[in-house]
Structure 1
Amino acid sequence: MFLLSSYNVITFSFIFFFVSSFSLSPPAHFLIQFYESLPKKSQHLLPWKLSNSTSSSSSHCQWFGVSCYTNKSFQFQVKALNFSGLILSGVLNNSITYLCLHKGLVSLDLSGNNFSGGIPEQLGNNCGQLKTLLLNDNNLNGTIPIKLFQSNKRLAKLDLGYNSLSGDIPAEVSFCIKLEYIGFHNNYFTGQVPSGVFSLPNLKFCYLNTNNLTGSLPDFPQSCEISDLWIHENSFSGSLPNTLSRCYNLTAFVASHNKFGGVIPLEMFSDLFQLEILYLDSNSLEGEIPESLWGLRSLKELVLSENKLNGTISESIANCSQLNTLVLSANNLSGWIPHSIGELEHLKSLLLFDNMINGSLPSELGNCSSLTELRLQRNFIGGVIPKEIFKLEKLEVLYMFNNKLEGVIPQNIGTMSSLVELALYNNSLSGEIPSEISHLKKLEFLSLAHNRLTGEVPLELGKYSSPGLVKLDLTGNLLTGLIPFEICNGNNLSVLTLGHNRFNGSFPRQIAACSSLKRVILSNNLLQGTIPADMNHNSGISFLEVQDNLLEGTIPSVFGDWRNLTMLDLSRNKLSGSLPSELGKLQNLQILRLSSNRLKGSIPTELTYCRSIIKLDLSKNNLSGKIPLEIITSLTKLQSLLLEQNRLTGPIPDTFSSLHSLNELQLGNNMLQGSIPCSLTELHHFSTILNLSYNGLSGQIPKCVGNLDKLQILDISSNNFSGELPTELSNMISLIFVNISFNHLTGKIPSAWMKLAASYPGSFIGNQELCLLGTEVKNCEQAKVSMKRSQIIPGVVIGVVISVTLLCTVIYALVVRVLTQKHNLDESLLPECQPKSEFLPKDLNFEEIVLATEGWNEKYVIGRGKHGTVYKIQSKNSGKHWAVKKVNLSDRNFIIEMRTLSMVRHRNVVRMTGYCIKDGYENAYSTRVTEKCDVYSYGVILLELVYRKMAVDPSFEEGLDIVSWTRKSLEESSDCLCLFDEEISHWDENEQQKALSLLDLALECTEKLPSMRPSMREVVGFLIKMNDRNE
């Protein structure tokens, strides 16, 4: 036996490998080195069958991805390497060195891999013969090395797209004068495009799209050879260069999603006769579409949507005879759709939605026989729908909703054999739904909602559709009869909304049998009879609304097996019996509304298993018994609990501390007893309504109620509460309404409630010993006496209008009378009168006036005029009396009167000293109402929604409203979310982003300068786009 020691084996192996490697040709040796530089997992991905015994000088030419020269001078030298799409990894800088050792290498394709790191400088130093370099679709980062362009003079095609490269595009790219193809797309490049890029004499294809490039585009040279220029999804600005017309060979120009502005240059398209694709959408282009554009006879795709273009669509559009895609949506285009559009026989997609197009639909549209998509929604198109449109047999999508269409739906609709989606909702269509609509075999989406359609729905609707209807919306019509039985044919129906019609018959069993259904709305109809107790178990439906019908009988326990229900609304019917305990199986249920029925019995404790519920509404029934403690302790996500107008008894459970999300509690009109539990006041999010009215609650109002500093509405009226109101109630700074009437309360009202008492005096009556003036009871009576006496003292005219002093008039009359009798009367004996130029006290604002008049109480009226009522008030600080006239600023006659009287100079008339305006920043300096006023108001509403605060909230600093508070808060903190209502912090990231977008919109709407605010149409467009992006 021949044995080798381990030392000898290792030595032998090393010598064998050394000899074998040394015997390989240089090109093969370089390739082996590249192979070995790759990570082990990548070596397995490269399908090379290497053999150490290979000694042929040409064997490497048969390896995968390797191409060699065939001519004798470069025989067996590597010419091109193509390793694309192999998912190779590793740092490119480590591997590229060996590839550049091939001196004859002219093409290197490493695209579609996972190489990382930066672009190696060796590509410029050692690969100087390269004509094609493809590094796209990798994970490369960093900047482009300048040497790449300084040495590679022969480079004709360079593709670096779909990486993570950054920095500026080097100006040295212009050194590579043979470049025909540049691919820098889908990276993070910044800065401006070097002027020399477009001047490259051989450049034909240039892809700079999807980066962060800025600035304006450089001018194009006289000898421009570019045929494809893609620069979309950047931040280019300025005007479009008219020198683009020098690129005579241009076939595609895509500049979407940038910041280009101004008008489209008239001469821009004068010589672009080869242009086939033009995308300028999502910019800020203005003005009319230039007539020269309609002369591009080779144009196939034109997209100008989401700009600010106006004017009309020219009849010259017929010149673009090759057009197959026309998208002009989301602009300000007006006028009629041109009749000549019917000459575009190749047109497949016509999108004109979100404009101001009016007039009627041209029947010539029916000649566009290639149309597959027609979207005209959200315009002002009127008249009847031409029957010619329904001859378009290739049409798949027809959207004409939100227009002013009228008349009937043509009966030949059944000939549209390819129609998949039909949306005609929000028009004024009338008549019956033609039975021919049932013959649309490919129909999946049908919405005819909010029209004036009458009659019965074709009973065969959905029967012949394959794969079947997916969404059916007939809401808001005058439809009668039965709900069709075939609507779920194919079991693909997902959304069924038939609310606000006059459908009759019983609860449709076919709904329960349709397992594909997710959302069902049958509300506001005339459905009657009982809900079948033996319905199918539907595990698909998550949203069921059947409120406002005539349903009777009990609620079937089978609903407990509809396990995906998140919303169940059976309110405002005639349902009776007890609540089925099986509802407790609905662990996904979030909203349960059973109000306004005839339900009786106790509230089942099994509802505590509905752990996801956020709103429980059992109000306006005949429920009895106690409020289950388990509901209060277990339903920790509950936000609204509505149990009012029942027959509930016992005390209010003192276990609310676990309901951290509760913000509405309605327990009024029951037979509850006891006191207000302090556990309610531990809820820091309790912000909407606490209604305990019309019960038998008694005792003193607990001091802890004052802890509800976010509560907006408090109603404890018609109970048996007694004692004084705690001073801690002044801490309830968010209250906008309070009702404590008809109790046995005594003492004075908290000072912070005086404004509420002045605004809603009826909310405090029925408490005989309660002081409505904020003082002790004895002082209340004294105040009433002094108020009567003070009515004989004339006041001074103030307010928004001319003020007339009665006191000075009386004094003047007395003086004149005395002077008539005695001309030498000493003036020092005259009583002192208020100066005619008295300044308005700083403390006298609108709210103070309302308080001083106890909510414009009639007892303070001292006069009535043509333009308003005059009240007498007393300044809280100075004690002086003033006459205030409450007027309507919109009265034009009063404006004239005020202008005239403000110039009057008479010894009996005191000058106007000031005015007070309730809120209304927008109209503080002008009484002219414009659209921009509405926009401002809408912005205020948006702010109220996202912050859940009032326009003038008690939590704001003195002198701030919600607009000024928002801007001040944003200056002090960059975290917008922390300012929002706390509930928004629990939303998912997508919903939070929507809230931030609404905040941006609100700030634009509330700009001080009306010219800086968007139009209401732009606001609507923004909301629609925001919704579309998140669907």
Structure 2
Amino acid sequence: MSAAKTCRKNLHFLYLLSLICLLTATNSDELQILLNIKTEFQKSKINVFDSWDPNNSVCNFTGITCNADGSIKEIDLSKNRLVGAPPFDSICQLQSLEKLSLGSNFLHGRVTEDLKNCVRLQYLDLGNNFFSGSIPDLSSIGRLQFLYMNKSGFSGTFPWNSLENMTSLVALSVGDNPFDPTPFPTEVVKLKQLNWLYLSNCSIEGQIPAGIGNLTELINLELALNHLSGKIPPEIAKLRKLWQFELYDNDLTGKLPVGFGNLTSLEMFDASRNYLEGDLSELRFLTQLVSLQLLKNEFSGQVPAEFGDFERLVNLSLYKNKLTGPLPQTLGLWTDFNFIDVSENFLTGPIPPNMCKNGKMTELLMLQNKFTGEIPASYANCTTLTRFRVSNNSLSGVVPSGIWGLPNINIIDIALNDLEGPISSDIKNAKALGQLNAANNRLSGELPPEVSKALALVAIDLSYNQFSGEIPTTIGELKQLGRLHLQYNMLSGTIPNSIGSCDSLSDVNMAHNSLSGPIPLSLGSLPILNSLNLSENQLFGRIPVSLSSLRLNLLDLSNNRLTGTIPESLSIKAYNGSFAGNNGLCSQNVKYFRRCSSNCRVSRELRTLIICFTVGSFALVVSLGCFFYSRKREKNHDRSLKEDSWDVKPFHLLSFTEDEILDSIKQENLIGKGGSGNVYKVVLANGEKLAVKHIWNIDSGSQRKTRSSTPMQPKHAGKSPEFDAEVQTLASIRHVNVVKLYCSITSEDSSLLVYEYLENGSLWDRLHTCMEMALDWEARYEIAVGAAKGLEYLHHGCERPVIHRDVKSSNILLDEFLKPRIADFGLAKIVQATLSKDSVHIIAGTLGYIAPEYGYTYKVNVKSDVYSFGVVLMELVTGRRPIEPEYGENKDIVKWVCSKVNGRESVLGIVDSNISETYKEEAIKVLKIAILCTTRLPALRPSMRSVVQMLEDAGPSKLVGISVGRDGRKKEGLGGEGEV
């Protein structure tokens, strides 16, 4: 071998050796970088890093992909529950890194400027995390093709200028971040390679630029939940490859542009909740549509007949437009049709019969139109249906029998039609049925006893029909029933005593029937009954004293044949007119009734006992007998309380003993009766005043005979769940606007809760029953702010959010300075970590304050409290009760207020006359906040934290105009419907 060849061979060997040494050094550096990254994520309790061992090759690490030379090309740790702040300073030292995917984790902190050093990146995913602060300038990463930063908590201004260097960008997703408001970024329409653009919910405003037509490669365009205005540009018609187009929740106006029908690849189109108008003719060419959502716009004209030929259409929502004419009768014939909502239009003709032909339909919503004809028999076999709502139309004929017994149905709503026939016994199969509304029809026959097998029923409204016969005694099996409306029928017989087993009832209306017999004593045992109307019947006998323990906002027993004494606790202004038309009644306190002949106010049972022993005796003997018997009962009761062994659990430093409290639980100190117990005023020796709630345990088997006869024992009260809920909630709460619980005192038989005493009663009393002590606006405003702060603390200031579930003016107590306290936590729920977000499945609340979603999902969350607080704000501004006859049938204060906000004068007209002219403008500001709080969609209601801020901004020195559009957003102007 020549010397030259030997030299060249040695040089080649040395080159390879140096290259191997260089690669070894590089791999060693990258190993150390990955180990540093692992250290940063040590808090992540996952096993993804188990393979990240110094003894392994980095190319074998989980989530790592290498180039052929062994350098790191990709890091993919998405969806791995990572916790911490990504060390971008280390990550971007990987010189060959082309893909970094950290999406869908629990990453937090700020994205540092070090990210710009990842200059070779082509794919960057930081989406679905919990970062804060702004996104740094990304101009140096010019090779990016995929950029995902959506829903990650970023704020400030997005660096749109960075996009000018990213000419190869294919996917851009930065939506669902609270960026600063900005016009539509012109840099975006220059990215001609884009096929995926997600800019929803990131504070973009103004018009969609004509340049959007440059993005001809787009298959997905999402611009929803912004503040876009103006018309949809006609250039949109150039996007022939578009598969999904989302524009919902903006302020767009005008018609669908000419040429929109050219988007023949479009499968998903949602432009809901805008102000679009004109007809739908441009859509008749979109034969590939799978889902069309145009709800809450101003579209008019007819639904194109071509929709009936669309072979892929599965979901159709045209709710709340101005559409006329018939629906295509072949609609849904060709597909696995799933969902239709065309409610609140002016549609006519029959219901298309074939939408459930393939047995996949879940929701049929066609209420408030002008549909005619019969309900197609085919839907009686549609076992997949969960919601069937065709109310407020002109439908006729007999309801198909199988409709009543659909096994998955949640809601049957056929009210306000001309339908006939009975409720069939098939209803026993409706195991999921929660709401049955068949009011205002011509339905007849007897109520089937099988209705008791529909155990999920929460609401029954069969009013204004022709039902006859007796109310089934099996009704007591409906343990979740909250509302029972049977008024204006031809029902006869007695009200079954079993109704007292329906523990969740809050609203009962049986007025205008032919019911007879006595009022059941068991009605008084319903723990949350709030409204009771038995008027215009033939009921006789005495008014049960047990009704005195109820917390009723509405009581109407008028125009019956009742006799005897009106119980003293019901003889209050709130029930004026409740007993009219019962000539046999007498009262010591109610005007227009004859005075009762005896001043001995004892129970019906006790009076019977006395009469048995005193027939033929003198009145003096009767009086003495009453006196001594009452004293004996009190003595026995006091002795029985003291005989018990009591357990005291203090939650604050106490200045009293248990004996001081026990000595004060007597009849003369009784100041109120509620659904879960009696309340007593206790004055300590030092002059301090306390309020004590006394709760008897329903599950106690050892109640003494003497105790069972005491008038202080509410039959329906109990330790669980009200006692446990109230103690668990209040024991840990420390807030100036939440009532203070000093301690609990419990025994085997009963329990006592000791609170601070509030001098001025409840807000309900001051607004609705003590008109001589009317509140001025300054006091009302301070009460609103204070109560809001109390709820804000419950929702945001506790370890886990506390849902009150019964926010109302009677549960807002006032101290001597009229400072408010949130009270009565008997229905409260502490949100558990295992629940989905913050919702709870409950049967609770008070008529007039219950959020509308309860009727659809039977769930409440913190936004349900916000709705109830909005009702309280309306009470403060208008001085009216949540439910009043003036509002009309099936209306409450929310609907009434929103019907009055169509002009300045009408708004001023609903402000309480007790509020002086000086403050009416301020009152209107608070009314607008109330409308925001009572927006129909929970997601659009503000948080209580936001409510507090808005109320403070609406104070005397900060009058900021807030007006609400139909989408529930703040707008300029006087106000709007507020989604009610």
Residue number in structure 1 paired with 2:422: 457
| DSSP 3-state at the match of 1:599 | strand
1:695-706 equivalences under 5 Å are: none
**Which residue does 1:302 correspond to in 2?**
269
**Structure 1 counterpart of 2:317, from 346, 351, 354:** 351
CA contact (8 A) 1:304 1:328 kept: yes
Whether the aligned pair in 2 keeps the contact of 1:152 and 1:176 (CA below 8 Å) is no
- 1:718-776 Cα distance to aligned partner (Å, 9 max, x none): xxxxxxxxxxxxxxxxxxxxxxxxxxxxxxxxxxxxxxxxxxxxxxxxxxxxxxxxxxx
Decide which of 586, 596, 618 is 1:624's aligned counterpart.
586
Pick aligned residue for 2:285 from 319, 334, 339: 319
Letter in structure 2 aligned against 1:285 = L
In 2 relative to 1, CA 154–534 (structure 1 residues): closer, same or farther, beyond 3 Å? Answer: closer
How far off is 1:280 after superposition? 0.8
For 1:403 and 1:990, how far apart are their aligned partners in 2?
A: 39
Q: TM-score, normalised by structure 2?
A: 0.59
AA of the residue aligned to 1:107 = I
| 2:314–2:332 contact (8 Å) kept in structure 1 | no
Q: Give 1:135 deviation, angstroms.
A: 3.4
Q: Deviations over 1:321-340 (max 9, x none)?
A: 22110011111100011111
CA distance in 2, matches of 1:459, 1:480: 11
For the 8 Å contact 1:27–1:60, the answer to whether it is kept is no
**Hey, what does 2:62 align to over in structure 1?**
65
Correspondence list, 1:758-907, <5 A = none
Mapping 1:232-247, distance limit 5 Å? 232-247=200-215
Gap change, CA 1:975 and 1:338, over 3 Å in 2: closer
Q: 1:582 Cα shift?
A: 4.2
Rounded Cα–Cα distance in structure 1 between residues aligned with 2:67 and 2:946: 63
Q: CA deviation at 1:288?
A: 1.0
Give, as a single letter, the amino acid of the residue that structure 1 aligns with 2:455.
Answer: N
2:562 to 599, 606, 611: 599
Q: Which residue of 1 aligns with 2:496?
A: 532
Shift of 1:129: 3.0
Q: CA deviation at 1:38?
A: 5.9
Aligned residue runs from structure 1 range 925-936, under 5 A: none
**Residue 656 to residue 216, structure 1, CA distance change in 2 (3 Å):** farther
Tell me which of 553, 556, 571 is aligned to 2:517: 553
Equivalent residue for 1:471, pick from 435, 441, 445: 435
Of residues 465, 471, 483 in structure 2, which corresponds to 1:507? 471
Look up the match of 1:418.
384
The answer as to whether partners of 2:373 and 2:394 remain within 8 angstroms in 1 is: yes
**Structure 2 equivalent of residue 289 of structure 1:** 256
Deviation at 1:603, TM superposition (A): 4.7
Give the C-alpha shift of residue 483 in structure 1: 1.8
Which of the pair has more CA radius of gyration?
A: 1
Residue aligning to 2:154: 188
Partners of 2:65 and 2:330 lie apart in 1 by 61
Say if 1:656 and 1:293 are closer, same or farther in 2 by CA, change over 3 A: farther
| 2:203 matches 1:248 | no
Select 2:916's aligned residue among 935, 939, 955: 955
- Structure 1 CA distance for aligned equivalents of residues 531 and 764 of structure 2: 23
Equivalent residue number for residue 569 of structure 1: 533
Q: 1:449 to 1:624 in 2, by over 3 A?
A: same
Aligned to 1:406: 372
Instruction: Determine if contact 1:262/1:287 at 8 Å carries over to the other structure.
Output: yes
Cα distance in 2 between the residues matched to 1:600 and 1:519: 28
Cα pair distance change 1:412/1:31, threshold 3 Å: closer
SS at match of 1:551: strand
CA shift for structure 1 position 187: 1.9
> What is the aligned partner in structure 2 of residue 378 from structure 1?
344
5+ residue gaps in structure 2? 1-26, 602-667, 675-757, 778-897, 934-941, 966-970
**Mean CA deviation greater in 354-363 or 211-220:** 211-220
Checking the alignment, whether the CA contact within 8 Å between 1:108 and 1:130 is kept in structure 2 is no
Cα distance in 2 for residues equivalent to 1:514 and 1:660: 26
Whether the aligned pair in 1 keeps the contact of 2:59 and 2:66 (CA below 8 Å) is no
The amino acid across from 1:152 in the alignment is: C
CA distance in 1, matches of 2:252, 2:536: 52
Aligned residues with identical type, % of pairs: 24
Q: Provide the C-alpha distance between the structure 1 equivalents of 2:159 and 2:32, rounded to a whole number of angstroms.
A: 42
2:168/2:191 contact within 8 Å kept: no
CA RMSD of aligned residues (A): 4.9
Structure 2: distance between partners of 1:332 and 1:29:
62
User: What is the deviation of 1:425?
Assistant: 0.8
Residues of 2 paired with 1:70 and 1:219: CA distance? 33
Q: Say if 2:38 and 2:49, in contact at 8 Å, map to a contact too.
A: no
1:216 deviation in Å? Answer: 1.7
**1:358–1:379 CA contact under 8 A, matched in 2:** yes
Give the deviation of 1:301 after TM superposition. 0.5
CA drift at 1:180: 2.7
Where 1:480 maps in the other structure, the secondary structure is strand
TM-score of the superposed pair, with normalisation by structure 1:
0.56
Distance (whole Å) between structure 2 residues aligned to residue 133 and residue 37 of structure 1:
16
Q: Residue type matched to 1:494 in 2?
A: V
Q: Which of residues 468, 472, 483 in structure 1 aligns to 2:447? A: 483
Contact 1:287 1:311 in 2 (8 A): yes
Q: Which residue, 102, 122, 133 being the options, matches 1:156? A: 122
Partner of residue 748, structure 1? none
CA change 1:309–1:118 in 2 (3 A) is same
Return the offset for 1:61: 5.3
Structure 1: unaligned runs, 5 residues or longer: 1-23, 52-56, 80-103, 628-641, 662-678, 692-704, 712-932, 981-986, 1006-1010, 1025-1031
Q: Determine the structure 2 residue equivalent to 1:204.
A: 170
Among 387, 411, 417, the alignment partner of 1:445 is 411
Residue 1003 of structure 1, CA deviation = 5.1
SS at match of 2:138: helix
Match for 1:358: what amino acid? T
CA contact (8 A) 1:35 1:43 kept: no
C-alpha contact 2:509 2:534 (8 A) present in aligned 1: yes
Hey, what's the Cα distance between the residues in 1 that align with 2:114 and 2:44?
29
Give the alignment partner of residue 307 of structure 2, picking from 341, 345, 358. 341
The residue number in structure 2 matching 1:257 is 225
Partner SS for 1:364: coil
- The C-alpha deviation readout for 1:132-165, integer Å capped at 9, x for no partner, is 223334555555433422x222111112223343
Aligned residues of 2:201 and 2:226 also touching (Cα < 8 A) = yes
Quick one: structure 1 residues 230 and 460, their matched pair in 2 at CA, closer, same or farther if it must change by over 3 Å? same
Offset at 1:571? 3.1
C-alpha distance in structure 1 between counterparts of 2:673 and 2:129, whole Å: 47
Q: Which amino acid aligns with 2:342?
A: L
The alpha-carbon deviation at position 209 of structure 1 amounts to 0.7
User: Per-residue deviation at 1:517?
Assistant: 2.5
CA contact (8 A) 2:414 2:437 kept: yes
Helix, strand or coil for the counterpart of 2:218? coil
Question: Do the aligned residues in 2 keep the contact of 1:105 with 1:129 (CA within 8 Å)?
Answer: yes
Deviation of residue 531 (structure 1)?
1.8
Amino acid corresponding to residue 471 of structure 2 in structure 1? F
Q: Distance in 2 between the 1:598 and 1:988 partners?
A: 50
Among 91, 102, 105, the residue aligned to 1:135: 102
| Corresponding residue for residue 333 of structure 2 | 367
1:717-728 aligned at under 5 Å gives the runs: none
Change beyond 3 A, Cα 1:936–1:68: closer
Other structure's SS at 1:309 match: strand
Instruction: Show the counterpart of 2:198.
Output: 230
Cα offset for 1:580?
2.8
Is the Cα contact below 8 Å between 2:515 and 2:538 reproduced in 1? yes
Q: Is the 8 A contact 1:283 1:307 kept in 2?
A: yes
Matched with 1:498 is: 462
Q: Aligned partners of 1:657 and 1:485: how far apart in 2?
A: 42
